[in-house]
Structure formats: structure tokens, C-alpha cells
Structure 1
Amino acid sequence: MEDPTSPTDTLRGEGDPLADRVVAELLDTGEIAHANQVLHGLRRNDQSVAEDLPQVLRDYLTATNPVPAWVDPERITRVHQFFRHDGVHVASALSLGGMVASYASPLGAKLLHTTHRLDHPHRRLSETTQFLLHMMAKDPLGPHGQLIPAIQKVRLIHAAVRQLLLRGGHWDVARHGVPICQEDLLGATLIFSVTVLDGMERLGVRCTAQEAEDYYYTWRVVGVMLGLRPEAIPETLDQARQTWARMAPQHLGPSPEGIALTGSLLDFYHQITPPGAHGAIPALARAMVGPRTADWMQVPPSRWDKTLAKAARWEERANRAEDHHALARTVLDHVGQIMLNREVRRVTHGQSTEFDIPQDLDTTTDIPTPRDNTSRTAPTP
């Protein structure tokens, strides 16, 4: 694969030509709203493409529906079994550790601001959890799964944000590359796979080597189906960890938007968790992302920090993959159940969150110019 940290790396200069062409035409013809309305009804992998969609969108949906020939269905099936056992822990790590890690990307946080998500953490949580549930279903890429339409819609969202930023002149391509470029997709894939697994392990929640590889493999498949070039993404979890270790120092850092997003996320959890667990939420986030990233995002320390750290050390000494420290497990289970039971719907009026292609962006403030070695990553999911 290509070195994503190279100054001459082409990943920064390339978006998603296929999706970009579709969105460009929809914007030119003013058909985004109509396309969204019809796409709301597209939910199953085997569902036929609606006749009243613009031809360019029909062609896109047809072209992106097949699963890549190299995908191993058995590995995807095994991930479902892993998720049945440890789903609440994956959801916890993703909705806390993964989210905060993604907000630590200054330009990525600004991108979320432009798509009106800065003050609505429940929406992004709902989108991310819904996407995760589609991924971890029994046969997510089979005829009755719902993952492929979700991927197709998210890919169009990325393309729309990219096109709107470029058309509005709100992005310095020469300095930062293309918005939501190939490098961004790679970073997002690694955050939601590598950092989630590592965050779970920091808390003593371990999975087998095969489960970890299969979980990463599933995200690798999804990354490619979201438009990431196959040769750009590492083949194994070990290679992915090495790649992220090289990328992270160049991509992560503090920003006003990242701090605000993290604060909104913690406030949201504060609203929907019992009072006795309030301090555990930031402690859990700090434990999963590490002290430097937590300090960047101003995740407050709490009396729970030492307790969770002791729990993780106890689990490491015990070296058991199945039995976790009762306290850490209780907190993880509670956060995970909030997401898996879709309690987020309480603030979305009981409805599933739709993946809508944006028609405009909030560009009242310019994209900030971060330090030269700080970039982006992790738009959606």
C-alpha cells in the first residue's frame, strides 16, 4: 500500500470520482431533495432501484451494489458472532473512544461543523450506531442486509460535502488537499477499527486475535465500498496499527470545534445516564483515547479515572479474555446498551436517522488554518 504520510502522497489529492460525478450533476440540476426523498425508501441490499431516480443516480446505485469479488463472507459472518458476544463493548468503544478520537482531527471537526452537526451529537451518534448495527448484522452484505444502501448513501454524503466546499471556495486545496480525500477515508477507517479495538483493550476488554482481525477486516471491506482504493488500506490489523501510528501525529491535535464536539457528546451522555454514572463517562473516554488526546479535547478528569485504570491493570494481570472486572464491565455495558437499544431516538422523535445528502453547508466561518502537520480524517460514519 502507499505510505499515507508521504508529502507527495496522492491520497490527499484524490476524492471519490464516481460519487463526485453523481453529486455534481444532482447539484447542477437541483435534484438533491428529490433524490433524498426517494433514497429514504432504499433500505435492503436486494431492493430494486427506483424508476423515478435521476439516471446518473440509478447508474451509481447499480454500479456500487455488487460486493467486491475478494471479500470473504465467512469472515463477515464470524464478526456477527463476535458482536453478539461483545456488541455492547464495541458500541461503547465506538460511541465514546472512536468519537472523541475523530473529534481530535481539527479539519475533520470543522467538516462536521459545516454539515450542521456541531451542536447535535445525538444525530451523529444515531447515524454511527445505525451504521454499526447494519455492519454487525447476521448477513450484512447478503440479500436481506441493509449495509449496502447505507454505504451508498454515506458515500454520496461525503461527495456532497466535498463538492459544496470546493464550489464555495471554502477549502484551500493546495494546502490541505481535497476535502474528505482518500487519506481522510483511510484515517476514518483506522479510527473506527484500530482505535476501537485498542480502546477496548486498554479497559481490559479483550477479544481473540481472530475476532480482532475479522473486525478490522470488516471495516477494511466497508472502507473500500465507501470509495477507498483497495491498495491504500492495510491488509492486516498489525499493518493497520503501524499505519495509524505513523498517521496520528500528523493528523491529530486540539481545535475549538473538536473541543465543542466532545463537550456536546459528554453533555448528551450526561442527560441520558443515571447521576451515579456521570463521572464514569469522561473517565471511560479518557481511558480509551489516552491522556494526551483527552487533554486536547478537554475531557475532564474524575474520581473514576484511577478506578478504571486499576480495573484494566487487574484484568491485564488476570489475563482472561472472558471475565472482566465487574465495575468496568458495568460501565461499558451501560453505555453500549444505550446505543444498541437506540435510546438516541428519544431526541430524534422516535425515528431512524436518515443518511441525507446535504444541499448546503454552514460556511459562516472559514476553515481554520491548523499547524502544517495537522490534518483531518473521520467525517462519517
Structure 2
Amino acid sequence: MTAPTEESLDALRHSGDELADATVETLFERGEVGTFNTLMRYVSTVGQELPDGLPEVARAYLHETSSPPSWVDWGEMERARLFFIDNNVHISTALSFAAMPACYVVPRVARLLSATHSLKYPSKRMAETGQFTVYLMQPDAFEAGSRFVPAAQKVRLLHASVRYHLRREGRWDVESLGTPICQEDMIGGQTIFSIQVLDALHRLGVHMSEEGAESYHYAWRVVGAMLGVDQRHGPRDLQEARRFSDRYMTRNMGPSEEGAHLTRQLIDLYEEVVPGTFFDPVVSALIRYLIGDTCADWLQVPRTSWDTVVRAAPALLNVLETVEDRSAVGAWALDRLGHLTTRLELSSLTRGRVMHYAIPEELKKDFGVSSTVSPGSRWTPPGPALGG
């Protein structure tokens, strides 16, 4: 891709997802959304027969989106999976305390997120994100019996339904804000969940290889394509991801009431997960450390006595990572611990249930809207790339 410009990003801001948007619009026009949701609740794995009675437009959409993009490099995907296994607990931390707040610091995105999930169940979005990532990083993610592809198909339609409702009901200023869940924001999200997660891992002191970092970014390119991101305009490698991320965040980030509220929900959620109350301030301190003081102040992340303590996290992780690098037994033990920790966190967020993705028939009022590291090959983040 060429370096993003204000003009190219303005164009992406007014572009959605033609295939999913047309599918959702037809389902609503024909009054078939309820039928679709009921039948699709039982379609959760690759290879299942589509149920009788499924609307034809939905059947056509599911057929067209049933396969990953033709350009997928399966070797890269396997390297991404091994990278995830090696760093799963760290990735979960980065997703929760860096990537999600990074979304909230974009006021337009914060407003969208506030409009699409119940304020009474703030763990829903984190649970969906965690579950989605776990599905992706299974060895059989694209084979019969896996849950990733159906989840991606449903999330894509969920995004289209949000666009449909907000535009149809006149609750979104398209002229000034652009299309809801536009291509600019979808590509921005792809970079937040890839390079900004890698940035957070680096800030935590996690040992990563260049190959592992590139493969992890590649996996999110595949995810983006399956969620309707136009890859002609998306970054192809980490250098391009840095350029897009820098430009996107610089032109969009800022304070907002919705962003602060979502962040407060996130903090409250994880303070409930952390046993007792003594360590509660660690949640705020970790967010502040990973996203920086300016963004943390915009999101009204409280300053705590743990802010200084958390800065020692990289030194502690460096010790653990060194043990992992030098000992096969240590690596196995830490990988298993990471796997169990990630599963425990996901179980806490989902209350032990599988999260179902469905097309909302309305945006109700209570939804806020009436790998192995080789010594000497450590990955370091690409430097700032503005001005291109």
C-alpha cells in the first residue's frame, strides 16, 4: 500500500462493507432477521450443513465467505499460532489493557462501541474478542469442526447491522463522522490488534523474534480480510502497519465521555476478576503504563500508588522469558501456565458460556442508543513513520 494520506483516509471513512451491508439490508427488508438468527444459533462450526429455511441471501453470503482469502500462506499462519502459544498470556494482557483502551481513545469508535453492547454486561465485548482470538489460534481454525470461520461470518454481519441501524434511524452524522464501522476504522482496528499489541508486548519486556512478530501481524491481516477489510488499502507488513497506525491515531484520537465510560467499565471488570482488593490498582496502573499518560488522562484512568511498581514489570518478565529461552522444561511449564491463565480469564469473562454473535433487530435503549526466539533476533517496534 502507498503511505496513507488525509485524502485517502477520508475516502476510507465513507466506505463500508458492500457484501455484508447488502445482505443485512435484504434480510431486514424481507423481515427475515429473526429467522436467520434462530437458525444460525445452531451453526457454530466449519462443515456443518446449513439448516433448511435459511434465507437465500444469507445462504449466498455464507457460501461466499466460507473460505479464507486465496492468498493465505499457511506456513505463516502456523508460525502465528506458535507465536500465540508462546505468548498467549502476554497477548491477552496486551489486548485487554492496551488494545481495547486504544480503541476507546478514538472518540468515534468509542461512541460506536457504546452503542453496540449492553452497559449491564461490560465483559461481553472482551469475552467476544478473547474467544474470537482463541478460535483463530487453534491448529484447525479453518478446518471442519472449528469455530473461527462461522464466528467471523457472524461478526461481519453484526458490524453491517450496526451500520444499517445507525444510518436508517438517523442516529449517526454520516457527513461529519463518516460511515459507521468504516474501512478507516476497520483497518485501524486491524493495526491496533496487531502492531499496537506487539508494541505493548515489547513495552512489557516480552522476548519476540522478528519472524514471530511478522507472523502475528499476518494473522490479523487474514482476520481483517474475513471481516470485510479491503486489503488493497490495508498494511501488508509491520512497517506499513506502523505508518497507518501512526497516521490513524494522530488524526483521530482524543478525549470523549464515551471513551472514559468504557475505560471505567474495563477497569471495574478486571478489578472484579483480580482476587481481593489489594491488587485492584494494578489494573489502572497497567493501562496507564501501556498506553501512556496522555491517552490515560483522556480516558480518565486514575493515577495510583502502583504506577511506579508496574514499571518494574519488564524486568520481572525478562527473568521469566530468559528461563523460557534457555530451558525446554521451563518453556513448556510457562506455555502451559499461559494457556491455563488465558482459559481461566476467558471463562471468567464469558461466565463459562459460548458467546453467540447475532444480528440485533434494533439498537435497544439499554445498549446506549435509543514461536521460539533465537538469541540476537529480538523484534523491536518500527520507529514512528509520520509524514509519509
SS at match of 1:230: coil
Greater mean deviation of Cα atoms: 357-366 or 95-104: 357-366
- Residue 6 of structure 1 is matched in structure 2 by 6
Letter in 1 for 2:296: A
Distance in 2 of aligned mates of 1:132 and 1:204: 22
The equivalent residue for 1:147 is 148
Matched with 2:348 is: 343
Contact 1:98 1:191 in 2 (8 A): yes
Give the equivalent residue in structure 1 for 2:289: 287
Change (3 A) 1:323 1:285: farther
**Structure 1 residues 313 and 242, CA gap change in structure 2 (3 angstroms):** farther
- The 1:70/1:232 distance shift into structure 2, 3 A limit, reads same
- Give the alignment of 1:1-381 within 5 angstroms: 1=1, 3-7=3-7, 9-275=10-276, 276-312=278-314, 322=324, 337=342, 340-346=345-351, 350-362=352-364
Find the aligned partners of 2:27 and 2:128 in 1 and give their Cα distance.
23
Instruction: Give me the TM-score of the superposition, normalised by structure 1.
Output: 0.87
Q: How has the CA–CA distance of structure 1 residues 334 and 268 changed in structure 2, closer, same or farther, with 3 Å as cutoff?
A: farther
| Structure 1: segments with no counterpart, 5+ residues | 368-381
Structure 2, unpaired ranges of 5+? 327-333, 370-388
Return the alpha-carbon distance in structure 2 between the equivalents of residues 171 and 2 of structure 1: 30
Please say if residues 117 and 124 of structure 2, whose CA atoms lie closer than 8 Å, have aligned partners that are also in contact: no
Report % sequence identity: 39
Residue aligned with 1:280, SS? helix
| Offset of residue 81 of structure 1 | 1.5
Distance verdict in 2 for CA 1:84–1:102, change over 3 Å: same
Cα shift at 1:344: 1.4
Structure 1 residues 283 and 365: alpha-carbon distance in aligned structure 2, compared to 1, 3 A threshold: closer
The structural deviation recorded for 1:92 is 1.3
Distance 1:336 1:258 in 2: 28
Cα distance change, pair 334–317 in 1 and its aligned pair in 2 (3 A): closer
Give the Cα separation in 2 of the matches to 1:262 and 1:336: 23
Distance 1:39 1:364 in 2: 24
Is the contact made by 2:99 and 2:197 (CA closer than 8 Å) also made in structure 1? yes
Deviation, 1:177, is: 1.6
One-letter amino acid of the counterpart of residue 358, structure 2:
D
Indicate how the Cα distance of structure 1 residues 239 and 170 shifts in structure 2: closer, same or farther if over 3 A, else same. same
Displacement of 1:360 in angstroms is 1.0
**2:3–2:243: 8 Å Cα contact kept in structure 1?**
no
**How far apart are residue 61 of structure 1 and its match?**
0.1
**Whole-Å Cα distance in 2 between the matches of residues 150 and 364 of structure 1?**
24
Residues 287 and 296 in structure 2, CA contact (< 8 A), matched pair in contact too: yes
Contact 2:119–2:367 (Cα < 8 Å) also in 1? no
Alignment length, in residue pairs?
358
Distance 1:307 1:213, change over 3 A: same
Q: Quick check: 1:112–1:118 contact (8 Å CA) kept in 2? A: no
By how many angstroms is 1:116 displaced?
A: 3.4
Residue equivalent to 2:381? none
More displaced 10-residue stretch of structure 1: 53-62 or 83-92: 83-92
**Does the CA contact (< 8 Å) of 1:170 and 1:366 recur in 2?**
no
Deviation at 1:209, TM superposition (A): 1.0
CA distance in 1, matches of 2:304, 2:76: 39
Instruction: Quote how far apart the aligned CAs of 1:159 are.
Output: 0.3
C-alpha separation in 2, matches of 1:278 and 1:364: 28
C-alpha contact 1:270 1:278 (8 A) present in aligned 2:
yes
Give the superposition deviation at 1:48.
Answer: 2.5
Q: Could you list the per-position Cα deviations for residues 267-318 of structure 1 after superposition, in whole angstroms to 9, with x for gaps in the alignment?
A: 1111121233212111111122122111111111222221221342677899
Question: Which digits, 9 at most, give the CA deviation of each residue in 1:206-239, with x for residues without a partner?
Answer: 3211111111000011101111111111110121
